[in-house]
Structure 1
């Protein structure tokens, strides 16, 4: 009990010195609190991120009709709903076409009523876009009258682009069309698919690599003003305090700064949370209210930060002898030992080594083992850098005056300079390792679509419709500025008998120019027909059949005759022309080889009412802006069910892309923290050297020489730190790639990019610190209290 009272008394005395030490004490405590507060803010934002993502998913599930209850016929509480998703200038816009079949039809979340025919409900972000000058083409596409703005309860994020368009065309199609659902409620209970082991590994690594620099910065921030603090502690020894007491008092001062940092961090967090609400990256955003830290994690941060501040301070003073007449640190320091510093990265490598070569085939990685190994490897940078810097500058001599001043300063005490660099070195090393892992596994999550954007830029799929409808839309699109070619094709079923649930023959109808996109034709005239051969069928069974020239066939609807299908939808008799020639298939712009029959308009069966699909391939002129959006607008206005898809040679898996976006979010926050913390630390070091700088100027030292010396004092540790970070990052990245089961390949572009980004942040901070440096060189800096 006496020990606890002694600790409490000495810590409280340190807190009093921190807040009652005059302007000097307040300045020191404020700098410490600011540095700690920046780290605490990012920690709170990180702990709030899982809850924000969960809230996004819950909102998305609440408006999803995938597992909503359904009914077979119109009722007073039923709603017809169809997807109307579209894309505008590279931005995905989620939308639904709705029609209320009764007065009690379910209302989508975030709306007060179901939009009527021609009425449009839009999200705030979409409303702003449509009202802006950039939204002209979008207003033409979504030509409904805006009657309501969707509230937050119906959105996954404040920047989401979402609409509900009332349509009286849905009853004509009805739920018999697979695109239309009849629902009596909203809400999905589908469980999210679990990430595979490598993607889960990437998530864990992202959090560890982003949080490590934060912890390093907090540890460095609580040691601001170390030299001045030691001189004050020596004065306390003169009035009777023993060595242990002054260390506890120093811990109390650090405790005061960390508590102030918690308060400032909470304020920074609230400001940052509000700013995050205005931030949209890759069309992903979160509501500020959803960024609510998990209570137990917030309590952990609140307890851990002050405890760590006291522990770090006591650890830093372990080798310092504080006597009444001064601090022994001013003598030549004992050389740092390297053996125990190497144990940290070696221990991390030992934890990760058993996990190498597993990939996705051996189950999930042990998250604690992975986290521990990565933390030890990255923490090894903070242990090795002071030793490396001491050895590097210890052998230097000579050079210009600015260089000598910088080197001598680092030789006297390189610990503060190393602490300044540690955080950014850890951040760069983690970023390099993650970039190597992302680059190494990108091929596993990037799919080659087989599409050929050189032959068609956009594919408009209408799913159903007559040939005349497709041709009319193709003609309308072809008259749009920026369109160089349109290729309309209609596909329907044929069979030797009806009903025919299997043994169906796909028939593709189009002009000769259009058919040349799917077959090798030496000659073609209207009235010709062709039998495709020489290609493997992409669909086995039902659509893997063909016919001979002269065969009598049925074309159109092959199903439903037992249920009394209306005559208008029944198949029509048709004879394949006897002059039909056999031709080889050619991959269409989507990369597919077609089977079955090809017919020109004059040879096609007349009166086919049910088509399997109708498609238009569109080639754009790259020099014309907004050409693709003009195509989408024309297709949407002709048929809201039409899907206008931009052709791409490759596509990335959704979870992989989401993780990369999350990494970008986190890296942006860490980068801001790096810049702000470096600036605070640089200002603190300049403040401690104010009298020295003023003295040098008073003795005739040029201000430019002193400015260059400060630049060298920053550049030397940063150069060593970034070099060490690159080496550790490459090593860690190689280990991670082996863990993912991928061959080691160093992505030098990423290494250079991450290292350059770190150097750029330091250069910016150095430039921002020059004005305060010039003020500190004034003669009044020699004044003392």
Structure 2
């Protein structure tokens, strides 16, 4: 290890010299006694947390691909113009989806028509009528206390479980139940006949450029804080390392060799961090299979990192540790009697720190105004621009902290202790806050972008949720009057509006081209009809013709006494014409916007005016007003619908519907943000504990001289509060700038939701407050005079 006289070896081939010096640093890291091991473990924990998140991130493409493949493999619609004829290899399948307390339950009724019927993915045999196979998560939910309402709606006997190949996620709720008589529901009745599962002719969809932009920005914003924390973690123990470096100079190493040894120590911590990160990743992967976030769950087996990306992480982390350490020591003079960092450092320069955000804006500038109509955004320019803007925060924050704390003046003892400490080590304080600042800036920019383009992916449904909150389509053959009475007697249902709906044509629907003129027919009792029209008076047996609406204005045209009109049959299997002769004296009425946001046209009839032979030609729709103050109000309505017919399809109303891909990206952002926030909190806590450990003797000295613990505690809080306030201010500025640029790139009007901006900043501050609170108990234990004891 050393030459006679205690001097370290030097000279020789430069390449071998670098390897030797790095190797010495690795040895020092693990052979430096208790202090060396504590320092190495702290570094490894910080690096390991970041590595685990990076490995989980590299596994995301595989997770998405696996979910998509399983979703496509179990598609159960007959693709093409016509369904296959009944045969020995066909299967009847019908959707029976439902919800239970805001959780989606995927349900299918199956009826094989022969021995060769295709099995659904993940199912080993067909369940008999009245039996079902379920996903493990649904079985657990059905067995749980408080699921009685769901058991009433899914009353089948469990005879097996669905395998992994038939479920997109480990926590998905799904079942296949055996049924009979589904053949009468084929062709528009809710059932499908098929020979195979999946889409035999998949067609690639055109990717929305704005959604691609969102994905790129989300990836960069989520990964940048991870990289910042890894870079900060390899610099743990800076002050104690300075003393070791001075000792190395004293026994003969030169400045270059000393820096390489320091880099080797950092590399040792990062290598141990890779090991811990792999362990954390395995633990996190297994835990991921037991949780569901924002309705999304994964199978642990799908969380397999791409080998190429995993290899890149393995090489990049130790390399980054070496480079970061060498960069940090570039301006430090290491002498045998000390490190000249203890003196007042040279003031940080601003000009080169501004180059990164300016360069980032320059990369994004050519895409301003591009929108979604001018092709895809350049992914390299987007990634590089966002990356440089966020990296610019890590360059600007040390200068900002140094500049501000240098001008802070008088105050109490706690304030003065905190300010002086920040003046001596502003770089360390800035490094602790860098990750938070980067995360908050990215979150603000993304929140602005999501809010700006939300209107393009959220469309109004036209459903008046103040008048009804649920709609139930009544299957063919189920009497609407009985349906309305049963819903009226259901708990938590305040009002029932039952309407029959159909279409009238001026000629037979069975002709080659069908009718030339088509209009609507709506049937219901008087209160129900008043939901869609302004009626002068109404009693059972009355008929009305509406004065036209935005879609069908042909009612008055067809209102000629004696004219024969033909009703479209609700079932495509019935090809007989149902004819209605227009009587004289039909009363005109004014159409109004009904439960949905459009004005109906055509004819209105009360129940008594509908000819008996026409009853089979209209479909029933029930609109329910729900008392949401009743617990599980919607569950009672869904159970009534199931009791009427398992194929009845209740649908919750909402004023808007959001694009599923947009929603998936937003949910992915929330899941990723939760992981990053956990990383931020854990890394900050490790960093805070490391800082307190290094200052143990100083704090003990202050206590020994009579400084109150309350004063020292407040000083630690001020040391955290001042940098985080400056970091959040800088993050808000950069985040708003990036958000405005991204909105202009998507050609979206610029607007700032200040509540969301303040919310994002508040989340960052809350993490710091929580970490500070968790670090107070160790701080109190350090504030003892016996901390001066040494060996």
Report the equivalent of 2:7. Answer: none
Report the equivalent of 1:15. Answer: 26
State the Cα distance separating 1:203 from its structure 2 match.
Answer: 0.8
Establish whether residue 754 from structure 1 lines up as the match of residue 760 from structure 2: yes
- TM-superposition CA deviations, 1:413-444 (whole Å, max 9, x none): 21111101111111111111111111111111
Report the equivalent of 1:517. Answer: 531
Report the equivalent of 1:201. Answer: 213
User: Aligned partners of 2:419, 2:37: CA distance in 1, in Å?
Assistant: 31
What is the SS of the residue equivalent to 1:485? Answer: strand
Report the equivalent of 2:631. Answer: 625
Report the equivalent of 1:585. Answer: 591
Q: Structure 2 vs 1, CA of residues 471 and 400 (structure 1 numbering), >3 Å: closer, same or farther? A: same
- The 5 Å alignment of 1:104-253 reads 104-173=116-185, 175-177=186-188, 179-189=190-200, 190-191=202-203, 193-253=205-265
User: Aligned partners of 2:649, 2:579: CA distance in 1, in Å?
Assistant: 31
Q: Select the residue among 637, 654, 663 that pairs with 2:660.
A: 654
- Structure 1 gaps of 5+ residues are none
Report the equivalent of 1:531. Answer: 545
- Conservation of the 8 A alpha-carbon contact between 1:534 and 1:585: yes
User: Aligned partners of 2:602, 2:610: CA distance in 1, in Å?
Assistant: 14
State the Cα distance separating 1:261 from its structure 2 match.
Answer: 0.4
State the Cα distance separating 1:161 from its structure 2 match.
Answer: 1.3
Establish whether residue 478 from structure 1 lines up as the match of residue 488 from structure 2: yes
State the Cα distance separating 1:710 from its structure 2 match.
Answer: 1.0
TM-score by length of 1: 0.95
Establish whether residue 409 from structure 1 lines up as the match of residue 421 from structure 2: yes
Q: Select the residue among 687, 704, 709 that pairs with 1:698.
A: 704
What is the SS of the residue equivalent to 2:501? Answer: strand
- Structure 2 gaps of 5+ residues are 1-11
Report the equivalent of 2:340. Answer: 328
- TM-superposition CA deviations, 1:305-351 (whole Å, max 9, x none): 00000000000000001111111111111111111011111111111
Q: Select the residue among 615, 625, 628 that pairs with 2:621.
A: 615
User: Aligned partners of 2:183, 2:628: CA distance in 1, in Å?
Assistant: 40
Establish whether residue 775 from structure 1 lines up as the match of residue 775 from structure 2: no
State the Cα distance separating 1:622 from its structure 2 match.
Answer: 2.9
What is the SS of the residue equivalent to 2:481? Answer: helix
Establish whether residue 366 from structure 1 lines up as the match of residue 378 from structure 2: yes
- Conservation of the 8 A alpha-carbon contact between 1:68 and 1:184: no
State the Cα distance separating 1:630 from its structure 2 match.
Answer: 1.4
Report the equivalent of 1:507. Answer: 521
- Conservation of the 8 A alpha-carbon contact between 1:417 and 1:717: yes
Q: Structure 2 vs 1, CA of residues 192 and 696 (structure 1 numbering), >3 Å: closer, same or farther? A: farther
User: Aligned partners of 1:368, 1:414: CA distance in 2, in Å?
Assistant: 34
User: Aligned partners of 1:351, 1:67: CA distance in 2, in Å?
Assistant: 48
State the Cα distance separating 1:728 from its structure 2 match.
Answer: 0.9
User: Aligned partners of 1:42, 1:194: CA distance in 2, in Å?
Assistant: 31
State the Cα distance separating 1:281 from its structure 2 match.
Answer: 1.9
Establish whether residue 314 from structure 1 lines up as the match of residue 326 from structure 2: yes
User: Aligned partners of 1:107, 1:360: CA distance in 2, in Å?
Assistant: 42
- Conservation of the 8 A alpha-carbon contact between 1:464 and 1:611: no
State the Cα distance separating 1:454 from its structure 2 match.
Answer: 1.2
State the Cα distance separating 1:463 from its structure 2 match.
Answer: 5.3
Deviates more, 1:418-427 or 1:84-93: 84-93
- Conservation of the 8 A alpha-carbon contact between 1:556 and 1:609: no
Report the equivalent of 2:501. Answer: 491
User: Aligned partners of 2:570, 2:657: CA distance in 1, in Å?
Assistant: 35
State the Cα distance separating 1:178 from its structure 2 match.
Answer: 5.4
User: Aligned partners of 2:568, 2:762: CA distance in 1, in Å?
Assistant: 63
Report the equivalent of 2:436. Answer: 424
Establish whether residue 392 from structure 1 lines up as the match of residue 404 from structure 2: yes
- TM-superposition CA deviations, 1:591-625 (whole Å, max 9, x none): 23222211122221112364352101111223322
- TM-superposition CA deviations, 1:433-460 (whole Å, max 9, x none): 1111111111111111111011111111
- Conservation of the 8 A alpha-carbon contact between 1:556 and 1:610: no
User: Aligned partners of 2:258, 2:567: CA distance in 1, in Å?
Assistant: 96
- Conservation of the 8 A alpha-carbon contact between 1:508 and 1:598: yes
Q: Structure 2 vs 1, CA of residues 660 and 274 (structure 1 numbering), >3 Å: closer, same or farther? A: same
Report the equivalent of 1:714. Answer: 720
- Conservation of the 8 A alpha-carbon contact between 1:590 and 1:647: no
- Conservation of the 8 A alpha-carbon contact between 1:356 and 1:739: yes
What is the SS of the residue equivalent to 1:752? Answer: helix
What is the SS of the residue equivalent to 1:658? Answer: helix
User: Aligned partners of 1:753, 1:735: CA distance in 2, in Å?
Assistant: 21
Report the equivalent of 1:346. Answer: 358
Report the equivalent of 1:57. Answer: 68
User: Aligned partners of 1:526, 1:769: CA distance in 2, in Å?
Assistant: 76
State the Cα distance separating 1:67 from its structure 2 match.
Answer: 5.7
Deviates more, 1:603-612 or 1:65-74: 65-74
- Conservation of the 8 A alpha-carbon contact between 1:495 and 1:558: no
- Say how many residue pairs are matched: 774
Deviates more, 1:495-504 or 1:106-115: 495-504
State the Cα distance separating 1:88 from its structure 2 match.
Answer: 2.2
- Conservation of the 8 A alpha-carbon contact between 1:437 and 1:737: yes
- The 5 Å alignment of 1:237-316 reads 237-316=249-328
- Conservation of the 8 A alpha-carbon contact between 2:288 and 2:300: yes
- TM-superposition CA deviations, 1:674-731 (whole Å, max 9, x none): 0000000011111111111111111111111111111111111111111111111111
User: Aligned partners of 1:67, 1:511: CA distance in 2, in Å?
Assistant: 38
State the Cα distance separating 1:284 from its structure 2 match.
Answer: 1.2
What is the SS of the residue equivalent to 1:616? Answer: strand
Report the equivalent of 2:4. Answer: none
Deviates more, 1:500-509 or 1:774-783: 500-509
Q: What do you get for the CA RMSD once the two structures are aligned?
A: 2.0
- The 5 Å alignment of 1:59-74 reads 59-66=70-77, 72-74=84-86
User: Aligned partners of 1:202, 1:558: CA distance in 2, in Å?
Assistant: 44
What is the SS of the residue equivalent to 1:589? Answer: coil
User: Aligned partners of 1:749, 1:325: CA distance in 2, in Å?
Assistant: 54
State the Cα distance separating 1:83 from its structure 2 match.
Answer: 1.4
- The 5 Å alignment of 1:665-684 reads 665-684=671-690
- Conservation of the 8 A alpha-carbon contact between 1:531 and 1:546: no
What is the SS of the residue equivalent to 2:595? Answer: coil
Q: Structure 2 vs 1, CA of residues 168 and 545 (structure 1 numbering), >3 Å: closer, same or farther? A: farther
Deviates more, 1:629-638 or 1:418-427: 629-638
- Conservation of the 8 A alpha-carbon contact between 1:529 and 1:576: no
What is the SS of the residue equivalent to 2:147? Answer: helix
- TM-superposition CA deviations, 1:568-595 (whole Å, max 9, x none): x623443223121121222221223222
- Conservation of the 8 A alpha-carbon contact between 1:494 and 1:558: no
Q: Structure 2 vs 1, CA of residues 35 and 113 (structure 1 numbering), >3 Å: closer, same or farther? A: same
